[in-house]
Structure formats: structure tokens, C-alpha cells
């Protein structure tokens, strides 16, 4: 249990930042000060091109970055698990169709597709969640399906059928718990990669400019002189937050692998 | 009186015919041994008899009725009356649920009030020579003999009239095999249920069975 | 010709780190000897530690395993020997036949390569001669050598894989062959085949075979001497004719009583888990004639009726 | 074999169709004037020119006919026309693709070779301290978004240490200068590819290690390194191949971001500029090219898989 401590503590810190930003942040994101200030006692990370306190911005940005990650992870997991369960349980044409669809989603290059969609749609956070979720379920569906196929004809499933349990009971109470251990690390990894995608899209200026996320902040720093002025204290805090956030979430998956002897793949 | 019988069932994988026009009858309270070399379709036959797989031709009848044509309540009676025990003892329990969870799910299905679960379980386990501490264990944490006993306990909870035993001892050590065989005999004496005992080991079958059918 | 035994295991103990930091004693204080030209069998039920002995002798146990005692092969204690030295010993001097032959061969390499590579690696011969020898051995085992050499393991039936495995071991002509549960999961016909192949190993008196099996009948048919193992300890050892026809240890007696031909008389109780062994004699909770001494002290090895027995009561 | 092959071909054809449909449909189903989407948002035109363009782009014809014309255009290499840059999209992409392929190709080569070899070692020796450290480093690197990795390396090695030039690769066509300019971006992308493959390979070797065949090889006296690189690797490399196809899109887009950071004159900067001014023809063309490359990468991986694993076709992998 001890090895889960550090990642869980990090996630707890981020969660607090996301839920109660007002309690931690010294200022609100709307307060303006002198622009391009170097770090001092009042502004620990200085101020940006619009005179906003960078530390407060980083804290307020947590909510959106985490939310987009987890929500797209949830969308992908729900779709992927359902499709995987159905495709694995059924052996008819439905399985073929679902796996065909999965393979196609697998082949499509995700980030370029998201970029072109975002360019046409200028998406808000909800749309981004939906798009990222809809493009990431395929790996979940594949592992779930192969696991279901493994256990479909296992003795314990036959025994349950013999004892008179219904198909629904068997799928949800016998098979789903067996599949669950492979779904958890996938959820974590999809979440992490959604956070990376969000940050990347924001960096290209493809997210809603009125909301702040860590990616938007880095993009601002890159485009509005933070980089040329060597203001590392501008882009470094959000960058560190992304890295630590993704790392904490991903390491949960890897620790789980050690615990459950399941080998996860990114 | 006949309880379960198969009439002229045939099974094939692709073009390879495993068995053809095979018939077997099981009377109440008797043990029918089913023997044959490996790969002759014994397990398939067991699953067909248990209603888990449909024969490609022929019928399986339970108390005189074809199970393929059974309606809801009739099928339910059949389902509760015919149980199966598998070769791999640990494999017949869900690997991520404890033995206790798996067995008490059956009690729930049978409509036993939750308050009585524990008492019923402990008594059933004791009869099979098991301690109640295995209820909190996972299938891979108990020995093959313990798992097989637990499997028999679970199958008996819904009071079947026929048990299909598919190589129930071939994955077990000889000393455990002897114990399980004696347990099965004792259960039969007590409850008068019929067995279809499937094994490749003729010595085991002739020890258990009243008559032997070859596949 | 050597004078001493080919293999001599002395007071071997093996323990694995358990999940909760404790140690699981898989093998305790076990000694045995194998002479050239003889077949020695270790029999016991699953989890008794007989396969661990085989792996300890071959030094194939995973890192982190606690091993004490000594394993003397041809006069040399091989427990402290380096891994590089072991690689030279394994294959050419001591080899092992595995159970589940289908899984013991690499699925993506042609069988020919898997047979010839070890020979070339050990410097026994060159490529062309290795191929020739492999072909000859396969043909002698009744296989279509030309086809098998080119085939992948998954194209072969279980019986063929078993012969290939046997060919791989016999091509290297090791002095000591260990067969670890070679009959597990085989049907009667293939057990018969395997028995013939194993019986030929000590031909000429140069080689020794250590047979590890749960199949008492197999041990009775092949071995000259047999060791009965229970919960990590050898409880009775002696000539096969003595041990398997007239057992003296209560466990051996119970085990033989459970056999079909003796009427399936079960031993009362269950085998204990290795992480939770009883004190004193490991068999005392299931033994009909145990007393307070048995539950307090581990019985030493004694000489009874021309064999070694660990029991106070006989 | 034929059944599997047929299924594969159907899937590739279907993915190509989806890709083409995305490019074709989006400008036409988005709310707003499709002409704007087909020529770009910031291009200022008079209503007459707009109407003229409408006819010239075929937008007044029925959708099936438009699709036919579009397909014919794509097949003949016509990816549209950028009104911003006053150039056909195909030639814009053609001019830049070399630089991107050079970056991606070199990094893939380095990243895959290093990742596979060290991943195999790390999986084999998974109990060693150094292997654990390398795994940890791999996890950390793969958790950094590629552009951030580029940004960090850029600010350290270019801004702080001045080891590498800012930009200006295209002025001096001399091999040393090109290598000097490309070194850091290649290193960044290779590091990223390396980390991902290290982790995949490690996981796959860990699984293979517990199989029986490496044990048997050991029992025959085959040395550890021979077992790892001669026996286990060949089996363990299969997941890398399956992953290659999926990864390709990801790595390629990573390359685009790295180009932006290092101002390399490849597809990435083309895309970045096109995004800023919403130059839709360029974006569509780029997507089409990248997606087709991804499909080709998939086919390549499939073929390679068949070469390495003789079981393909038997078990329907």
C-alpha cells in the first residue's frame, strides 16, 4: 500500500486545487497587476502579459485540465467496456462489425483528427471531452473483448450457467469483475493521454480561449513573449503541473500492474 | 425411472465428427460411468447432457420431456435438477470473487434468506470436510482438493437430482482423489441423486459406477 | 569411471519469500544420491516440493530464493558456482526434460534450429554435422525428420513435441538427466511412449536419471530406488521393491492405500499449506499412530528395514 | 489466410473511406458558408468572386457528384488550393514533407532500436536497481507531452547553453549544418519514441520471461543473453509491431509539435500557420496525407508481423 502513497497524495493535492481554488490561490484570475513581473514575495511566480498572478492562474487552471482528462477517460471507458463486452460475448456478425469499427478508430491518427475537428468547430470543453472520449475507446474495447473471450467458456461461467444464473447476471456479476482489473489501468492511461491531448491542443490555440487550462497558459507564454523574455517561471509551473499530474495518474496504472501482475501497455 | 437421457445425439467440429448417434440413459439414484480415450468428445457430451450446449442432432430429455422445447418454468426445474462438476477445481470458481461470495450467490438465487446464509454454508462445508475459513479465500489460495469439495458443496446447495461429473478427480492427487470419491459416494447414499461419472481412468469409473457406457 | 555418485544432494533446504514477508519452506533437509546407470524417482503429491528439488539441482530457481545445503555433481559442489559455469554444465552434463512439451519449445523458431543451436553453442560439432545428428535422432524416435526440422512447434502434435524435446536433451548426451513430471497431462498412449524413451537413458551405465513424478505406477515400473516426499521432506527412501510393496512410513502407506488397485482408501485430513506447516513431524495431524513426541520434534532419518525413514513410530 | 486477408483489406478500405469522408464532409456540413471552409476564413473576397468560386468549386452540384469530383481530384493529386499562400496544397505539402520525414525517420530508427534493445534488457533484469531506474525514467518521459519535452530541451540547450542554433536551417545546404540543426529535435522525438518502446518491450519481455521455453533453453545451457536476444526477443517484439501502427499517428503528431517548437520548416509549422489563419484547405490536405501515411504504416506493420511470427494466418492474429 505504501507505494500508492505518493501518487495518491499528488492527486489529492491536485483535486483540492481543482475543487477549492479560491481557498488556496492568493488572487482570482480576473485581478490585474503590472504585466511581466518577475517573481517576488507577493507574486511567487510573477505575472503574465495581462498582469495576472501566475500562481493563481495555475491553481484555477487545475479544474479544467483534470476535468477534461477524467471526463474523456470516463466516456472512453464506458463506450469501450460496453462494446468490448458485447463483442466478446456475441460470436456472430455483431462481433465482426464492432471489431471492424474498433480497428478503424484504431487506425485513424487521433491528434491530427482532433486538430482538424477543433479547427472547424472551435470547441468548448464539453465538445473536447466528447471528441477525445469518442476517439479513445478502441484500446479499451480490445482488451475487454479479449478478456471476455478468454473467460466466456471458462468453467466458472459454465458453472454459473448450470446453476441457473441469467445471462445478464453472468455478464455483469461474473464476467465484468474479471474484466475490471484490466479496465482500471486503461482508464488511468486514457485519462492521462486525454490530459496530454488537451494540453497539446491548447498549445496550438485550438481550445476555448476564455477558459484557462495549463495548456492554454503554456501556449500564452510561448506566443506572448514569455519564452523570448526567458520567463521560465511563467511556463514552468503549468508545465510541471501537467507532467506531475499525468505522472501521478500513470504511475497508479503501473503500480496496479505490479500488484495484479497485469502487464499494461501505453 | 429415467431422469435424464440423451437419444442419438451427434456432434461435429467442422467436418470432423466427434460422435454420432450416441445414446445414454440415467435412472434415478444410479451412477452411470462414461469412459473413452481423450479427444473422443466426453466433455462435449457432458455439456450437452447438462444443457449447456445443443446437440447437432438428437435430443436430450429430462423426465420424459425434450429440453430444447422446454418453456420458462420447465427449464428452470431442469436447470436446478442437473448440475455439473468440472475437471479443473479452481477454474470452476470466479477468480476475483471469494469462495464465500460465489457460494452465497447460489443461496440468494435459491431464495434462502440472507440471515441464514452463514449457518447453511458452515453446515454444508462441514459435511464436505471443509473449514469455514476457506469462505474468505480466493480460488487460487486453496488447494485443488478444497476447491473441488467447495464445488460439490455449491452444486448440492440447490438439491439437484442428477450430477454430471466431468473428470472430477483427474486433476487431483491420488490421496485427494480417494477422498473426493468417498465424499461423492457418501453424498449419493444420503441424497439418492444420480451421477454421470465421466473419466478416462477405467479403475476410477469401475469403482464408482453401477454400469459403464463407452463413447 | 568415477567412484562416487554422479549427483549427491546433501541437506538441501529451499525457501521462497512469501507475500507477507515470511518464508515458505518448500524443501527442508533433503538428501539424495544418483549413481551413473540408475534411475531414481522422487514421488509425492502436488506442492510437496519435488519439482523444487529438480530446479535447485539445475540451479533454475528464480533469484531471491534461499537455498542452503550442497548439491555435489560429479564431485563438485555446484551451488556456489557462477552462472557462466552453470551454463557450461547445463545441457551437456546435466539436462532436464520438461512437462508440457508444447510450451517448452519456442513457437517462432523452426524446430531444426532449436535442436542444432545448443549443440553448436556447446561446441560439440559444426552446423552441418549438428543437422545430421538431429535428423538421425529424430528419425530414430520415429519422426519424419526432414519435415520436423523445418516445422514450427505449433505445427506438431503434443506427442511429436514430446519426442522433439526428448531429442533435444539426448542430442547433448548429458550424464545426468532430470525428468520433471514428464507424464503430467499426457494420455495413456503417450505415457507408454515416454516410458520407453526414459527407460533407455541409463543404457551403458554412463548416465543417471532422476525422475520426478506424482505417478507412483511410473516410478514403480522404471526406478531402482524411490524417495517419497511429503510437505518438503523426504519421509521414506529405499529400493523401489521395498518401499512400494511394503511401506513402513504412515504417509507412504496411506498414499499407496489411496491407489485404485488398493481400493481408494483415503488418508484422513488435508495436506497443510507450506506457509502453515504443523510443528514436529509434518504428517502427525493426519497420522493414526502419532503421539506427543511426533507433534513436538521433527523425526530424524533412521534406518528401518533397509531403508531411510523419518518416523518415530516405526 | 484468405479470410483474414479479406477482412484486413476491408478494414483498410473502410478506414480510407472514413478518412476521405471526414475531409469531404466537414466543410459541407458545418454551419456557415462552405466556400469559407474551402478557401479559408480570413480571405477577403467580394460577393461576385464568392459566387464564382461557388461554381468553380462545384458547390452548386448535387452532393454525390461533388464527392465524385473530389475523389477524382484526390486520386490525381489535387488536394485543393490555398488562397492564403496562393499555391496548390499538394505542392505546399510536397515541399515540406521531406523535412518532416527526415525528422520522423531518423528519430523512429534511433528510438525503436534503442527502446527495443534496452526495453528487452530492462524486462529481463527487472529486479536490478538500474533496470528499475530506467523504467522509472521511461515512465516519466512518456508522461511529458512531446511539445513540452521539446520546450524544456529547447530552453535548456538552446537558450541557456547555446549549444544549438535557433533556426535558419534552410540557408546553408551543408550536411553538417543540417545535422547541427536537426540534432536536438531528433533527440527530443527519439527520446519520446525510446521511452514508449522501452515500456512496451519491458512489459512484453516480462510476460515472455515466465513462459516455459526460456526455461527449457536455460536447462539446455543456452546463455542468458542468447536466450534474451535469440529466443525471447523474437516473441516479445510482436506487441511492439502491433503497437507501431497505433503509435504512428501519435508519434507523427508529436513530430509536428516538435517542429513548431524548433521552427523546422516541415509539415508541423505548415499546420501551425494554417491553424492560426484557419487555412482549411491546407488543414484538410495535411490530415489526408497524415491519415493515409498512418494506414500505410499499419499495412507495413501487418506485413512485418507475418514475417516475424510464422503463426499468422493460422490463429488469425
In terms of Cα–Cα distance, which of C178, C175, C179, C164 is closest to C113? Answer: C164
Q: How far apart are CA C231 and CA C249, in angstroms?
A: 14
Beta-strand ranges (E) seen in A22-178 are none
Instruction: Give the residue, B37 or C213, on which the prediction is more confident.
Output: C213
Residue A257 has a pLDDT of 59
CA distances from C155 to A14, C149, D315 (A): 55, 11, 11
How many CB pairs lie under 8 A apart between chains A and D? 137
Cβ-based contacts of A192 with chain D (< 8 Å): 143
Q: Return the sign of the alpha-carbon dihedral for residues D43, D45, D51, D56.
A: negative
SS (H, E, C) C231-263: CCEEEEEEEHHHHHHCCCCHHHHHHHHCCHHHC
Confidence of residue B131 (pLDDT cuts 50, 70, 90): confident
Residue D173 has a pLDDT of 65
CA distances from B151 to B102, B147, C232 (A): 10, 6, 28
Cβ-based contacts of B171 with chain C (< 8 Å): none
Q: Is the pLDDT of residue C32 over 90?
A: yes
DSSP character at residue D227: I
Instruction: Give the residue, B32 or D181, on which the prediction is more confident.
Output: B32
Cβ-based contacts of D246 with chain A (< 8 Å): 106, 139
Question: What's the whole-number average pLDDT of chain A?
Answer: 83
Any idea which residue has 514450427 for its cell? Answer: C152
pLDDT in tens, C89-119: 998 899 998 888 888 999 888 999 999 999 9
**Contact at CB, A204 and D286, closer than 8 angstroms:** no
Closest CB to A106 among D142, D246, D286: D246
Q: How far apart are CA A240 and CA D148, in angstroms?
A: 10
Any idea which residue has 484538410 for its cell? Answer: D284
Look at the pTM and tell me if it is higher than 0.95.
no
Q: How far apart are CA A70 and CA C23, in angstroms?
A: 42
Any idea which residue has 523445418 for its cell? Answer: C150
Subunits adjacent to chain D (3 or more Cβ pairs under 8 Å) = A, C
> Can you say how many angstroms the Cα of residue B61 is from the centroid of all Cα atoms in its chain?
17
Q: How far apart are CA A39 and CA A26, in angstroms?
A: 14
Q: How far apart are CA B192 and CA B28, in angstroms?
A: 8
Residue D70 has a pLDDT of 82
Q: Which fold has domain A1-265?
A: MetI-like fold (1.10.3720)
Cβ-based contacts of C43 with chain B (< 8 Å): none
Q: Which domains does chain B show, CATH number per domain?
A: 2-214 (3.40.50.300)
Instruction: Give the residues of chain D that fall short of pLDDT 70.
Output: 1-2, 31-34, 36-45, 58, 166-173, 312-317
Closest CB to D200 among A106, A232, A265: A265
**Contact at CB, B94 and A163, closer than 8 angstroms:** no
Q: What mean pLDDT comes out for the span B105-128?
A: 89
Cβ-based contacts of B105 with chain A (< 8 Å): 165, 173
Quote the crossing angle between the two packed helices A137-152 and A54-89, to the nearest 10°. Answer: 40
Chain D interface residues (partner C, CB cutoff 8 A): 127, 211-213, 215-224, 226, 230-231, 234-235, 308-311, 314
Closest CB to B97 among A155, A177, A181: A177
**Contact at CB, C109 and D219, closer than 8 angstroms:** no
Q: How far apart are CA D67 and CA D17, in angstroms?
A: 12
Confidence of residue A36 (pLDDT cuts 50, 70, 90): confident
Phi, psi of B171 (to 5 degrees): -95, 5
Subunits adjacent to chain B (3 or more Cβ pairs under 8 Å) = A, C
pLDDT in tens, A135-150: 889 889 988 998 898 8
Q: Which residues of D304-316 are buried (b: 16+ CB within 10 A; e: fewer)?
A: ebeeebbbbeeee
**Contact at CB, D224 and C103, closer than 8 angstroms:** no
Q: How far apart are CA C49 and CA C16, in angstroms?
A: 11
Q: Is residue C285 within 8 angstroms of chain B, CB to CB?
A: no
Q: Is residue B129 within 8 angstroms of chain C, CB to CB?
A: yes
Q: How far apart are CA D81 and CA A56, in angstroms?
A: 45
Q: How far apart are CA D255 and CA B20, in angstroms?
A: 63
Any idea which residue has 486453496 for its cell? Answer: B142
Contact A57, A178 (CB under 8 A): no
Residue D44 has a pLDDT of 66
What are D286's strand-pairing partners? Answer: none
Instruction: Give the residue, B143 or A27, on which the prediction is more confident.
Output: B143
Q: How far apart are CA B118 and CA C88, in angstroms?
A: 59
**Contact at CB, A199 and D253, closer than 8 angstroms:** no
CA distances from C218 to C33, C214, C245 (A): 20, 9, 14
Q: What mean pLDDT comes out for the span C53-78?
A: 91
Any idea which residue has 482570482 for its cell? Answer: A28
pLDDT in tens, B182-191: 999 999 999 9
In terms of Cα–Cα distance, which of A138, A150, A190 is closest to D11? Answer: A138
**Contact at CB, C154 and D314, closer than 8 angstroms:** yes
Confidence of residue B83 (pLDDT cuts 50, 70, 90): very high
Any idea which residue has 518532416 for its cell? Answer: D100
Determine the distance in angstroms separating the CA of A159 from the nearest CA of chain D, rounded to an integer. Answer: 28
**Contact at CB, A247 and D139, closer than 8 angstroms:** yes
Residue A80 has a pLDDT of 93
Q: How far apart are CA C79 and CA C77, in angstroms?
A: 6
Quote the crossing angle between the two packed helices A54-89 and A125-134, to the nearest 10°. Answer: 40
Closest CB to C121 among D218, D222, D309: D222
Any idea which residue has 471507458 for its cell? Answer: A77
How many CB pairs lie under 8 A apart between chains B and C? 50
**Contact at CB, A120 and D26, closer than 8 angstroms:** yes
Contact D263, D27 (CB under 8 A): no
Residue D29 has a pLDDT of 74
CA distances from D22 to A58, A114, D30 (A): 36, 11, 12
Residue A263 has a pLDDT of 37
Interface mutation target, options C191, C260, C272, chain B, most CBs of B under 10 Å: C260
Residues 6+ apart with CB under 8 A from D193: D107, D108, D110, D111, D112, D115, D247, D251
**Contact at CB, D308 and C108, closer than 8 angstroms:** yes
Cβ-based contacts of A172 with chain B (< 8 Å): none
Residue D152 has a pLDDT of 85
**Contact at CB, A173 and B84, closer than 8 angstroms:** no
Subunits adjacent to chain A (3 or more Cβ pairs under 8 Å) = B, D
What is A112-143 written as a DSSP string?
HHHHHHHHHH---HHHHHHHHHHTSHHHHHHH
Question: Does chain A reach chain C with at least 3 CB pairs under 8 Å?
Answer: no
Closest CB to C91 among D213, D221, D230: D221
Cβ-based contacts of C87 with chain D (< 8 Å): 221-224
- Tell me: ipTM over 0.95: no
Beta-strand ranges (E) seen in chain B are 2-13, 16-27, 31-35, 57-62, 65-66, 82-85, 162-166, 194-199, 211-214
Residue D51 has a pLDDT of 74
**Contact at CB, C45 and B176, closer than 8 angstroms:** yes
Residue C200 has a pLDDT of 82
Q: How far apart are CA B175 and CA B155, in angstroms?
A: 23
Here the cell at position C13 is 533446504
Phi, psi of A128 (to 5 degrees): -60, -45
Q: How far apart are CA D141 and CA D253, in angstroms?
A: 17
How many CB pairs lie under 8 A apart between chains A and B? 56
Q: What mean pLDDT comes out for the span C60-70?
A: 89
SS (H, E, C) C127-145: HHHHHHHHHHHHHHCCCCH
**Contact at CB, A203 and D257, closer than 8 angstroms:** yes
Residues 6+ apart with CB under 8 A from D221: C87, C88, C89, C90, C91, C92, C118, C121, C122, C172
Determine the distance in angstroms separating the CA of A51 from the nearest CA of chain B, rounded to an integer. Answer: 55
Query: To 5 degrees, how large is the angle CA D230–CA D104–CA D186?
Result: 90
What's the residue count for chain B?
Answer: 215
Closest CB to D219 among C95, C121, C152: C95
Amino acid at each position: 500500500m505504501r507505494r500508492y502513497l505518493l501518487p495518491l497524495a499528488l492527486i489529492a493535492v491536485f483535486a483540492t486545487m481543482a475543487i477549492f481554488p479560491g481557498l488556496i490561490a492568493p488572487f482570482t484570475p480576473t485581478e490585474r497587476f503590472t504585466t511581466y513581473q518577475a517573481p517576488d514575495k507577493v507574486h511567487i511566480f510573477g505575472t503574465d502579459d495581462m498582469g495576472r498572478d501566475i500562481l493563481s492562474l495555475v491553481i484555477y487552471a487545475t479544474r479544467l485540465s483534470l476535468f477534461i482528462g477524467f471526463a474523456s477517460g470516463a466516456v472512453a471507458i464506458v463506450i469501450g467496456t460496453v462494446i468490448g463486452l458485447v463483442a466478446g460475448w456475441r460470436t456472430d456478425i455483431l462481433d465482426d462489425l464492432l471489431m471492424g469499427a474498433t480497428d478503424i478508430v484504431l487506425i485513424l491518427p487521433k491528434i491530427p483528427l482532433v486538430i482538424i475537428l477543433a479547427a472547424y468547430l472551435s470547441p468548448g470543453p464539453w465538445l473536447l471531452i466528447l471528441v477525445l472520449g469518442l476517439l479513445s475507446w478502441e484500446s479499451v474495447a480490445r482488451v475487454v473483448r479479449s478478456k471476455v473471450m478468454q473467460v466466456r467458456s471458462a468453467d466458472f461461467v459454465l458453472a454459473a450457467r448450470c446453476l441457473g444464473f441469467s445471462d445478464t447476471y453472468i455478464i455483469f456479476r461474473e464476467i465484468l469483475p474479471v474484466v475490471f482489473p484490466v479496465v482500471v489501468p486503461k482508464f488511468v492511461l486514457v485519462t492521462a493521454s486525454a490530459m496530454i491531448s488537451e494540453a497539446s491542443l491548447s498549445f496550438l490555440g485550438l481550445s476555448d480561449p476564455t477558459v484557462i487550462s495549463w495548456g492554454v497558459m503554456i501556449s500564452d507564454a510561448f506566443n506572448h513573449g514569455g519564452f523570448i523574455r526567458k520567463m521560465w517561471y511563467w511556463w514552468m509551473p503549468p508545465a510541471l503541473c501537467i507532467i506531475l499530474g499525468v505522472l501521478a495518474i500513470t504511475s497508479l496504472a503501473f503500480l496496479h500492474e505490479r500488484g495484479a501482475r497485469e502487464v499494461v501497455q501505453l | 425411472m429415467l431422469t435424464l437421457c440423451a437419444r442419438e445425439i451427434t456432434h461435429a467440429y467442422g467436418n470432423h465428427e466427434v460422435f454420432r448417434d450416441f445414446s445414454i440413459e440415467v435412472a434415478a439414484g444410479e451412477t452411470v460411468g462414461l469412459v473413452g480415450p481423450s479427444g473422443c468428445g466426453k466433455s462435449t457430451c457432458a455439456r450437452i447432457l447438462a444443457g449447456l450446449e445443443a446437440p447437432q442432432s438428437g435430443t436430450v430429455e429430462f423426465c420424459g420431456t425434450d429440453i430444447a422445447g422446454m418453456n420458462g418454468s420447465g427449464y428452470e426445474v431442469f436447470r436446478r435438477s442437473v448440475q455439473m462438476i468440472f475437471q479443473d477445481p479452481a477454474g470452476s470458481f470466479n477468480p476475483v470473487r471469494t469462495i464465500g461470495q460465489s457460494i452465497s450467490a447460489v443461496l440468494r438465487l435459491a431464495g434462502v434468506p440472507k440471515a441464514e446464509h452463514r449457518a447453511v454454508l458452515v453446515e454444508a462445508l462441514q459435511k464436505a470436510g471443509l473449514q469455514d475459513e476457506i469462505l474468505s479465500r480466493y480460488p487460487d489460495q486453496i488447494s485443488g482438493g478444497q476447491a473441488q469439495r467447495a464445488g460439490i458443496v455449491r452444486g448440492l446447495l440447490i438439491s439437484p437430482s442428477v450430477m454430471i461429473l466431468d473428470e472430477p478427480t483427474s486433476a487431483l492427487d491420488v490421496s485427494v482423489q480417494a477422498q473426493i470419491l468417498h465424499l461423492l459416494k457418501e453424498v449419493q447414499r444420503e441424497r439418492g441423486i444420480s451421477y454421470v461419472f465421466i473419466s478416462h481412468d477405467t479403475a476410477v469409473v469401475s469403482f464408482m459406477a453401477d454400469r459403464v457406457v463407452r463413447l | 569411471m568415477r567412484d562416487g555418485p554422479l549427483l549427491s544432494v546433501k541437506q538441501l533446504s529451499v525457501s521462497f519469500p512469501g507475500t507477507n514477508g515470511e518464508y515458505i519452506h518448500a524443501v527442508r533437509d533433503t538428501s539424495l544420491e544418483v549413481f551413473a546407470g540408475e534411475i531414481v524417482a522422487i514421488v509425492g503429491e502436488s506442492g510437496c516440493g519435488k519439482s523444487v528439488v529438480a530446479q535447485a539441482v539445475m540451479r533454475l530457481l528464480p533469484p531471491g530464493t534461499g537455498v542452503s545445503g550442497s548439491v555435489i555433481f560429479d564431485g563438485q559442489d555446484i551451488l556456489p558456482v557462477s552462472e557462466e559455469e552453470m551454463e557450461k554444465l547445463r545441457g551437456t552434463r546435466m539436462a532436464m526434460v520438461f512437462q508440457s512439451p508444447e510450451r517448452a519449445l519456442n513457437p517462432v523458431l523452426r524446430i531444426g534450429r532449436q535442436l542444432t543451436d545448443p549443440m553448436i553453442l556447446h561446441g560439440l560439432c559444426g552446423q552441418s554435422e549438428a543437422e545430421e545428428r538431429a535428423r538421425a535422432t529424430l528419425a530414430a524416435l520415429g519422426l519424419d525428420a526432414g519435415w520436423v526440422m523445418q516445422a514450427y512447434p505449433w505445427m506438431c502434435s503434443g506427442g511429436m513435441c514430446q519426442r522433439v524435446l526428448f531429442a533435444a536433451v539426448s542430442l547433448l548426451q548429458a550424464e545426468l538427466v532430470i525428468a520433471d513430471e514428464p507424464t503430467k497431462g499426457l494420455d495413456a498412449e503417450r505415457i507408454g511412449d515416454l516410458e520407453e524413451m526414459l527407460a533407455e537413458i541409463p543404457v551403458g551405465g554412463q548416465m543417471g536419471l532422476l525422475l520426478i513424478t506424482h505417478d507412483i505406477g511410473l516410478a514403480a515400473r522404471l526406478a531402482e530406488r524411490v524417495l517419497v516426499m511429503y510437505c518438503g521432506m523426504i519421509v521414506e527412501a529405499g529400493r523401489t521393491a521395498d518401499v512400494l510393496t511394503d511401506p513402513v512410513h504412515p504417509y507412504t502407506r496411506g498414499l499407496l492405500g489411496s491407489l485404485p488397485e488398493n481400493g481408494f482408501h483415503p488418508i484422513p485430513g488435508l495436506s497443510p499449506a507450506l506457509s502453515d506447516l504443523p510443528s514436529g513431524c509434518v504428517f502427525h495431524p493426519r497420522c493414526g499412530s502419532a503421539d506427543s513426541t511426533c507433534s513436538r520434534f521433527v523425526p530424524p532419518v533412521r534406518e528401518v528395514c533397509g531403508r531411510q525413514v523419518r518416523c518415530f513410530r516405526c | 489466410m484468405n479470410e483474414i486477408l479479406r477482412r484486413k483489406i476491408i478494414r483498410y478500405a473502410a478506414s480510407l473511406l472514413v478518412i476521405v469522408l471526414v475531409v469531404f464532409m466537414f466543410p459541407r456540413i458545418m454551419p456557415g458558408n462552405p466556400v469559407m471552409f474551402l478557401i479559408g476564413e480570413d480571405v477577403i473576397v467580394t460577393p461576385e468572386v464568392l459566387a464564382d468560386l461557388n461554381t468553380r468549386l462545384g458547390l452548386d452540384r448535387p452532393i454525390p457528384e461533388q464527392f465524385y469530383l473530389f475523389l477524382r481530384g484526390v486520386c490525381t493529386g489535387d488536394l485543393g488550393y490555398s488562397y492564403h499562400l496562393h499555391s496548390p496544397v499538394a505542392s505546399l505539402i510536397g515541399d515540406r514533407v521531406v523535412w518532416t520525414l527526415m525528422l520522423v525517420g531518423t528519430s523512429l530508427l534511433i528510438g525503436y532500436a534503442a527502446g527495443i534493445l534496452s526495453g528487452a534488457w530492462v524486462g529481463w533484469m527487472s529486479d536490478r536497481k538500474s533496470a528499475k531506474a530506467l523504467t522509472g525514467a521511461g515512465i516519466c518521459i512518456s508522461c511529458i507531452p512531446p511539445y513540452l519535452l521539446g520546450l524544456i530541451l529547447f530552453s535548456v540547450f538552446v537558450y541557456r547553453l547555446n549549444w544549438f542554433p535557433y533556426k535558419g536551417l534552410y540557408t546553408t545546404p551543408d550536411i553538417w549544418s543540417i545535422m547541427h540543426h536537426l540534432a536536438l529535435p531528433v533527440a527530443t522525438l527519439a527520446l519520446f519514441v525510446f521511452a514508449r518502446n522501452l515500456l512496451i518491450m519491458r512489459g512484453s519481455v516480462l510476460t515472455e520471461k515466465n513462459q516455459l521455453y526460456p526455461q527449457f533453453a536455460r536447462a539446455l545451457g543456452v546463455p542468458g543473453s542468447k536466450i534474451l536476444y535469440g529466443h525471447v526477443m523474437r516473441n516479445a517484439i510482436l506487441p511492439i509491431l502491433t503497437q507501431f501502427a497505433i503509435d504512428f499517428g501519435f508519434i507523427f503528431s508529436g513530430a509536428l509539435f516538435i517542429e513548431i517548437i524548433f521552427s523546422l520548416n516541415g509539415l508541423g509549422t505548415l499546420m501551425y500557420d494554417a491553424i492560426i489563419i484557419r487555412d482549411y484547405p491546407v488543414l484538410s490536405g495535411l490530415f489526408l496525407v497524415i491519415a493515409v501515411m498512418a494506414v500505410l504504416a499499419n499495412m507495413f506493420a501487418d506485413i512485418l508481423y507475418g514475417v516475424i511470427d510464422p503463426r499468422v494466418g493460422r490463429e488469425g492474429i
